[in-house]
Amino acid sequence: MSKVAVMMSENQVNAQMSSHFGKAEWVMVADTECHSFEFLKNEAAGGKSVVGLVASQKCTDTIFCEIGNGALGHLKAENIRGWSAPANISGQQALEMFEHLRLQAADSSSAHACCCSKHADSKATPCCGR
């Protein structure tokens, strides 16, 4: 059985994916063999916490639009493969791209710097799970 976690903005298969791994409001866990879906609320909204949630569901892969280096490292430590999806697509589209081998494997060169740094116009909340 293969389970894939998809970072989502809403708890619907056809909803748009979340723009960032650690800030996803929902995690869609898709069983690719049974074609079933389960949505889990991301209460913690941090990279390390999301990795823990994905690992607890025994996912082998996760799909996201953007991820920080810290969260990517946590995925690798759990032996969960990461896949980069284009922005502005639905969870269903991301799964179809995954099944057709049209997603790029994530590595440190595709990850972004930690988002915990403060931005000039806002107070950023910690999202790296450190």
**Within-domain flag for 13:** yes
pLDDT at 111: 59
Residue that is written with structure tokens 């892969």 in the block: 61
The enclosing domain of 86 has a CATH number of 3.30.420.130
Q: Read off φ and ψ for residue 73, nearest 5 degrees.
A: -65, -40
**Within-domain flag for 118:** no
Q: 76, 70, 72: which is closest to 116 by C-alpha?
A: 70
**Within-domain flag for 96:** yes
The one-digit pLDDT tens for each residue of the chain (130 residues) are 689 999 999 999 999 999 999 999 999 999 989 989 999 999 876 778 899 999 999 999 999 999 999 999 999 999 999 999 999 999 999 999 999 999 999 986 555 544 443 333 333 333 433 3
How many domains, the chain? 1
pTM, rounded to two decimals: 0.82
Identify the domain containing residue 90 by its residue range: 3-105
pLDDT at 48: 86
Q: What is the distance between the alpha carbons of residues 130 and 127, in angstroms, rounded to a whole number?
A: 8
**Within-domain flag for 120:** no
**Within-domain flag for 121:** no
